[in-house]
Amino acid sequence: MKFQSQKVAIPYFVGALALFLGQIVFGLIAGLQYLNGSFLFPELPFDIAHMSHTNLLIVWLLMAYMGAAYFIVPEEAQTELYSPRLALVTFWIFLTAGALTILSYLFVPYAHLAAITGNAALPTMGRGYLEQPLPIKVGIVLVALSLLFNVTMTLIKGRKTSINLILVGSLWGLALLFLPAFYFPQDTVKASFGWWWIVHGWVEGDWELILGALLGFILIKMTGVDREIVEKWLYIIVAMTLISGIIGIGHHYYYTGAPAYWIWLGTIFSAFEPIPFILLIAFSFKMLLARRREHPNKAAMLWALGTPLMAFLGAGLWGFMITLAPAQYYMHGTNFTAAHGHLAFFGAYAMVALAIISYAMPLLRGRIANSAAAQRWEMTGFWIMVLSMIGIALALTGAGLVTVLLQRAADDPMSFMQVQDKARVFFWLREFAGLAFFIGLLVYLRSFFIAGEYGYAGEMKQALAA
Amino acid sequence: MKLPQAIPLKPCTVSWFALLGLTTITYELSARAPGQALMALVLGVMLVKAHLIVSDFMGLRHTRLLWRIVMAAYLAVVGGIIAFTCLTA
Amino acid sequence: MATEISVDYPQALPGDFAIWIFIFAELVVFAALFAAYAFARSAHLEMFDAAQATLDRAYGYANTLVLVTSSYFVARATQSIKAGRATRCGHWLAGALGLGGVFLALKLAEFQQDLAHGISLSTNLFYMFYLSLTFFHFMHVVMGMAILAVVAYKAYAGRYGAADHAGVETGASYWHMVDLVWIILFTLVYVVH
């Protein structure tokens, strides 16, 4: 850490991890409700558990990216953050709004919540990921504007590196892509068009750029490879992301009432969407091989290398499986989608957030890296979480396959609930894998509470003795 | 007085003339009645043009065999797919 | 008379290797688009041939000549910088940029004509492919011109030289790729029938 103001990233990272924990708890509850529909009913119905799970995901990722921006932008710009105080105030507003949203989901019936928050005046509520009441959506915009103002002013007064330009540019994109949240027309085709641009515009376009910038920053710092080389790779990855993603997002428009040519355009261009992830893998491993130093923070390196691989697996491979229109015709809305969603969100976006946290938190706490013991806990957490998330994805893929075989492509299709019954074993497997993930998360969080920093002398002595 | 010597044309200039000529041939062929011989000719001309660009403009003529094979394979695959779909249409 | 001894050492790809990763990725993307067109055409042969006959092939012909020539200019620019003649390199690049502009203008005129005939992505499968393929390529020409403009600016500013010509080669390689895919696109969409 080079600048005092980078410290505002700490509450963002801590807040993100706390919300992450909450997300997993709701995930476990919702998973159990697949097996026992009356579990916690009527106190916590499935739809509420489900939307708390997805909303917390988005909020904690946003919080982590904001923290990352407050950490990276000053360091890259070689200047203090424009206003650390504004960043702190924004954090508390964001956290309070996030907590209020979840509490209102839990304690106020959704229809009543809509009535008291002015949804009638400007309808925005009800669509997946965008369930937040109107005032909260406005709050999200204000928080985003505050962040953009702060980092853009920092960028203007400091050094303009490519990483900073890509990061700040994609944060602007993130905010702009949220605006269709306020567009909810009666026409369901138009409504779904706008809806896809938000969270899916993020994950298939904008957030890939954030991911690239964060990974590029971590790799420059950890490997000591020339900035110039990293930047060239980043530009290629950004270009490929946009070339594939902007039109590739059309794979959401199949059979929705959108013009039929989207079946072709969406199929062809979304088939290219794995390419940027393949490039990310090539990039990170090339940087690893070209490294000029051994950074003591092995855990951060593990996250940084795991991210592109898991992103390729979850976003690239699992996404490709369901993206072609003829496949989507049968797989739409089955658990194949849920499998892809879990593996992609974790593999790409949660893992890159954990990677930057892993790199930055020790520095923010005044050490180059955590003690070897803490890193062992963290890396154990990494492996448990990664493997159990693969388990979740495989179990959901199995459940999706059951639906396709017994319902979608069957000569004598079974009813929805019958199929759910047939897939029960996979929902059990998913729940067990989810439980393992939760344990992995606890192991990971435990690493933050192990005191001490990385000691070169101690490590050396140990290595020599062994 | 020394006689002016013929200025040797650079390979890329020769290729440029060839590309202009081949493009004109392609344009001429485009108005002809369809047929498999015509198709073969058109695709052949396309591959020659692509090869000229790759070797003389991009300069892959001077690179390692590997890269020349990669590019040749690319053109062969694309040309092959087009030819295949024409034959099976 | 002195004999010039030239030994051909196999060389690496011209320019920055990173641009070649991008070029190969782009070529794969275009190959998939061409393959999709070719297979769709074989499934709807008569419709494709009938619709293709409505295209004004003169536009495609003229644009091919323009793009091939601009690619030639770029090749000459690379030779100029290798000979240490930076200003001449800049001139060749400026010429190539001008021709890129001509290409865009012709393509826009053609799009304008299609629009006037009420042709859209929804007209039929052939026009869907024709419009999206040529527009996708159009955007690549725009991107290639942006790259060439930066290279030309740097060449005029004296930032390249005989020993330091990788930047010119990098931009040139991308532009030749844009030319290469147009050669295939022109043959496939305008000519093959």
Q: Is residue B20 part of a domain?
A: yes
What was the pLDDT predicted at B10? 81
Predicted ipTM of the assembly: 0.91
Count of structural domains within chain B: 1
Contact A243 C18 (CB under 8 A): no
Give helix then strand counts, H and E, for chain A: 20, 0
Q: Is residue B17 part of a domain?
A: yes
Among candidates C38, C65, C191 on the partner chain, residue whose Cβ is nearest the Cβ of B30: C191
Among candidates C18, C26, C128 on the partner chain, residue whose Cβ is nearest the Cβ of A233: C18
Note whether B36 contacts C: Cβ–Cβ < 8 A.
no
- The closest alpha carbon to A179, from A192, A197, A200, belongs to A197
Domain extent at residue B27:
11-88
Note whether B52 contacts C: Cβ–Cβ < 8 A.
no
**List of chain C residues whose C-beta atoms are within 8 Å of the C-beta of residue A228:** none
Our measurement of the distance from residue A416's CA atom to the centroid of its chain's CA atoms, rounded to an integer in Å, reads: 30
Q: Where are the alpha helices (DSSP H) in chain B?
A: 11-30, 36-52, 65-88
Neighbors of chain B with 3 or more C-beta pairs under 8 Å: C
**List of chain C residues whose C-beta atoms are within 8 Å of the C-beta of residue A229:** 18
Tens digits of per-residue pLDDT, B72-85? Answer: 999 999 999 999 99
Contact A279 C25 (CB under 8 A): yes
> Which string of DSSP letters, residue by residue, matches C139-180?
HHHHHHHHHHHHHHHHHHTT---SS--HHHHHHHHHHHHHHH
Neighbors of chain A with 3 or more C-beta pairs under 8 Å: C
User: In chain B, whose CA is at the least distance from the CA of C12?
Assistant: B63
Q: Is residue B38 part of a domain?
A: yes
pLDDT tens over chain A, length 466 residues: 789 999 999 999 999 999 999 999 999 999 999 999 999 999 999 999 999 999 999 999 999 999 999 999 999 999 999 999 999 999 999 999 999 999 999 999 999 999 999 999 999 999 999 999 999 999 999 999 999 999 999 999 999 999 999 999 999 999 999 999 999 999 999 998 889 999 899 999 999 999 999 999 999 999 999 999 999 999 999 999 999 999 999 999 999 899 999 999 999 999 999 999 999 999 999 999 999 999 999 999 999 999 999 999 999 999 999 999 999 999 999 999 999 999 999 999 999 999 999 999 999 999 999 999 999 999 999 999 999 999 999 999 999 999 999 999 999 999 999 999 999 999 999 999 999 999 999 999 999 999 888 877 777 777 777 6
Q: Where are the domains of chain C?
A: 54-191
**C157 Cα to chain B: minimum distance (Å):** 24
pLDDT grade for B4, boundaries at 50, 70 and 90: low
Structure-token pair, residue A122: 């400007």
Q: Is residue B5 part of a domain?
A: no
**C65 Cα to chain A: minimum distance (Å):** 27
C103, pLDDT greater than 80:
yes
Note whether A236 contacts C: Cβ–Cβ < 8 A.
yes
What is C54-191's CATH number? 1.20.120.80
What was the pLDDT predicted at A465? 76
Among candidates A236, A264, A275 on the partner chain, residue whose Cβ is nearest the Cβ of C18: A236
**List of chain C residues whose C-beta atoms are within 8 Å of the C-beta of residue B85:** 38-39, 41-42
Q: Is residue B3 part of a domain?
A: no
**List of chain C residues whose C-beta atoms are within 8 Å of the C-beta of residue A264:** 36, 40, 125, 128-129, 132
- First-to-last CA distance in chain C? 55
Q: Is residue B46 part of a domain?
A: yes
Q: Is residue B30 part of a domain?
A: yes
Contacts of residues B23-31 at CB distance under 8 Å and 24 or more positions apart, as own/partner, are: B23/B49, B23/C61, B23/C64, B23/C65, B23/C68, B24/C61, B26/C61, B26/C64, B26/C186, B26/C187, B26/C191, B27/C57, B27/C58, B27/C60, B27/C61, B27/C191, B29/C191, B30/C57, B30/C61, B30/C190, B30/C191, B30/C193, B31/C57
What was the pLDDT predicted at C1? 44
